Chains A and B, each alone.
Chain A
Amino acid sequence: MARAATTSDVFNAIAEPQRRDILVLLREGERPVTELARELGMTQPGASKHLRVLREVGLVQDRKAGKQRLYGLDARGLRPVHEWTGGFERFWNESFDRLDAYVQDLKQARQEK
């Protein structure tokens, strides 16, 4: 399988723990880079570098707000990850669908007794 360029792959982007920390913080709302760097104990250039990677894979969006630039989470970018982790969940969601149907049959059968 061909390797995607480092910055174009969402799996690579979130393999870095500090980038995951950034995403967790951004889940609470938009923040400027200075605040992210402070809260996570990173240098500002370090945080900016991570944000650039996250933006390039579509996990983070930025917008200008006055003199500041605010960074926010774009969770749609996590879709490939969600789909990848979906196997176990899907197995159980489908089993629970069948369980639901089966229990409804059981319930009806007992009521008819």
Chain B
Amino acid sequence: MSSTERGAPGQSATADREIVISRVIDAPRELVFEAFTEVRHLSRWWGPEGFTTTTQSFAFRVGGEWEFMMHGPDGTDYAEWISWTEIDPPKRIALRHGESPDDPNAFESVLTFEPDGAATRIEMHTVFPTQQLRDEAVEKYHAIEGGRQTLSNLAAYVTELVRNEVQA
């Protein structure tokens, strides 16, 4: 949360359907950027601890795609698809992320890499088409991490509550 989005109704137009995550990595920007550009790097760190990936195709260029399967520690497989929409080394990468090229719920993330002393600050700004899709993505990632049942119940519950509010 940044202090610039204060103030009641007129906040940033996408505030309710975006997620921003940032991290400082103690390494030069070129090196951090490089870890995003090749599958031999990406496959070493993509996903939470215990996850592995199997790549079907990979082409790191604007319009190129990365199709892969993510394997969870419990044996569940998740189809993943990435397509790069902007590549500006070593500063910025924009990509679409979904389950397949025709995933209607695909969403866009912009990664920026800023020098922070000798380290690098990564900021990942993800904007979902709608607030509901953000919530669904959040729920999906919870499911990926294993809280499946509880959270899908909770999601259904909250969706119902919101719908009731709208109708009320």
Residues of A within 8 A of B (CB): 1, 3, 9, 11-12, 15-16, 21, 24-25, 27-28, 39-40, 84-104, 106-107, 110
Contact = CB atoms under 8 A, between A and B. Distances in A.
B13 interface: no
Interface stretch (B60-68, B98-106, B158-166): B158-166
B129 interface: no
A94 B31 contact: no
B9 A21 contact: yes
Interface string B86-125: 0000000000000000000000000000000000001010
Contact of B158 (A15, A25, A104): A15
Contacts of B140: 87
Nearest to B168: A16
Given A88-B137, A91-B48, A98-B45, A106 B35 contact: yes
Given A84-B154, A99-B23, 12 more contacts: A1-B156, A85-B19, A89-B19, A92-B124, A94-B48, A95-B46, A96-B21, A99-B32, A100-B23, A100-B26, A102-B35, A102-B44
B161 A107 contact: no
A90 B161 contact: no
A94 B49 contact: yes
A37 to B, nearest CB: 12
A86 B47 CA distance: 15
Given A90-B141, A104-B27, A11 B8 contact: no
Interface of B: 6-9, 11, 19, 21, 23, 25-28, 31-32, 34-35, 41, 44-49, 122, 124, 126, 137-145, 147, 151, 153-154, 156-158, 161-162, 165
Given A9-B161, A27-B6, A107 B31 contact: yes
A104 B8 contact: no
B8 A15 contact: no
Contacts of A1: 153-154, 156-157
25 contacts: A1-B154, A9-B161, A11-B154, A11-B157, A11-B161, A15-B161, A21-B8, A28-B6, A39-B8, A40-B9, A84-B138, A87-B142, A87-B144, A88-B137, A90-B48, A90-B145, A95-B47, A97-B49, A98-B47, A99-B32, A99-B35, A101-B45, A102-B44, A103-B25, A107-B31
Contacts of A89: 19, 21
Nearest to B5: A24
A106 B37 CA distance: 14
Nearest to B28: A107
Contacts of A96: 21, 23, 25, 122
Contacts of B25: 96, 99-100, 103
